[in-house]
């Protein structure tokens, strides 16, 4: 597919890391409908591409994404939002079975912060700025901000971030557990590609089972989550890749995973 507001490419020594770059510089990658449709289409395309082991979503040095497009939202109505499913496209990205990693430089505000948080891992450049400024424009986060910050950082941080609208730094985001690593801005993409190459060196099948299992931690009680994990662990014993992985260890050689 050809896109206007994003760029897509493959990176890494084995070209198995997909990179989707938000590219709407004049609006700081504000998430208008077209951009979000293109983004979710690209993620879906890469999720069907067997050569791709992980997907990176990134933006520019100035902005990962400055939020939903305020000019586009200005005259929206409740029924209009409800009917055109404003947030459906973002939910599709969340459902991707392959690991999706956000590489955040610059502003990740509002829907931009939420987009980063619906990815599986966030790496941030040292100049990145996060925030949920919705209250400053008379609305509230709508793509998971109130829920995901509360779950990953606790109530007090979530309340402070969502109720003040204040921006916070990459370092603060790391301290509160929202971001897994802060990296000098100019090395961010390379380091994120390395992370994804490491992930992509494992069995894609097992990786997606593992991703699914971690995600259950956000959707269930501990007891249900533990049971899910246990079943998924047992299920890996029905795969060729589990046999190959353990066999390779015992035979002191590298595994050759077949995604099976």
Q: Tell me which residues touch ligand HXC (CB under 6 A).
A: 27-28, 30, 66-71, 87, 107, 109-111, 114, 133-134, 137, 141-143
Nearer to ligand HXC, 144 or 204 (CB): 144
Asked if 160 is an active-site residue, the reply is no
What is the spatial distance between Cα 193 and Cα 124, in angstroms, rounded to a whole number? 13
Of residues 53 and 145, the one with the C-beta less far from ligand HXC: 145
Q: Known catalytic residue: 44?
A: no
For ligand HXC, the closer of residues 134 and 241 by Cβ is 134
Give the whole-angstrom CA distance, residue 45 versus residue 209.
20
Q: How many CA atoms lie within 13 A of 246 on its CB side?
A: 7
Query: Is 1 noted as a catalytic residue in this protein?
Result: no
Tell me which DSSP letter residue 30 carries. Answer: -
Instruction: Give residue number: closest CB to ligand HXC.
Output: 110
Shortest gap between Cβ of 47 and ligand HXC (angstroms)? 21
> 65, 30 in Cβ contact below 8 A?
yes
Would strands 17-22 and 6-11 be described as parallel, antiparallel, or unpaired? antiparallel
Q: Which of 66, 114, 128, 170 is catalytic?
A: 114
- CA quadruple 234, 235, 236, 240: dihedral positive or negative? positive
Supply the minimum distance, in Å, between the C-beta of residue 179 and ligand HXC. 18
CB of 111 to ligand HXC, least distance (A): 3
Structure-token match 């991703």, residue found: 211
Distances (CA, A) of 149 to 43, 178, 187: 24, 7, 26
Catalytic residue among 27, 68, 103, 173: 68
Query: Is 111 a known active-site residue?
Result: yes
Residue with smaller CB distance to ligand HXC, 99 or 144: 144
Report, as residue numbers or ranges, the catalytic residues.
68, 111, 114, 134
């Amino acid at each position: 597919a050809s896109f206007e507001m994003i760029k897509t490419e493959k990176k890494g020594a084995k070209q198995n890391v997909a990179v989707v770059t938000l590219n709407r510089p004049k609006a700081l990658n504000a998430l208008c409908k077209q951009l979000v449709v293109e983004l979710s289409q690209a993620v879906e395309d890469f999720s069907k591409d067997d050569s791709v082991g992980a997907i990176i979503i990134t933006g520019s040095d100035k902005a990962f994404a400055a939020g939903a497009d305020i000019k586009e939202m200005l005259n929206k109505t409740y029924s209009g939002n409800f009917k055109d499913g404003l947030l459906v496209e973002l939910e599709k990205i969340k459902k991707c079975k392959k690991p999706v990693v956000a590489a955040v430089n610059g502003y990740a505000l509002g829907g931009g912060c939420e987009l980063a948080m619906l990815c599986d891992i966030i790496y941030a450049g040292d100049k990145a700025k996060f925030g949920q400024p919705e209250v400053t424009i008379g609305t509230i986060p709508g793509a998971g901000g109130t829920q995901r910050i509360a779950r990953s950082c606790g109530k007090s941080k979530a309340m402070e971030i969502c109720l003040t609208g204040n921006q916070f730094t990459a370092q603060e985001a790391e301290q509160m557990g929202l971001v897994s690593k802060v990296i000098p801005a100019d090395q961010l993409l390379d380091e994120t590609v390395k992370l994804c190459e490491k992930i992509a060196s494992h069995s894609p099948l097992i990786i997606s089972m593992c991703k699914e299992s971690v995600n259950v931690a956000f959707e269930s009680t501990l007891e249900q989550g533990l049971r899910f994990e246990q079943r998924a662990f047992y299920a890996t014993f029905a795969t060729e890749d589990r046999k190959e992985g353990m066999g390779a260890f015992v035979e002191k050689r590298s595994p050759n995973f077949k995604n099976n």
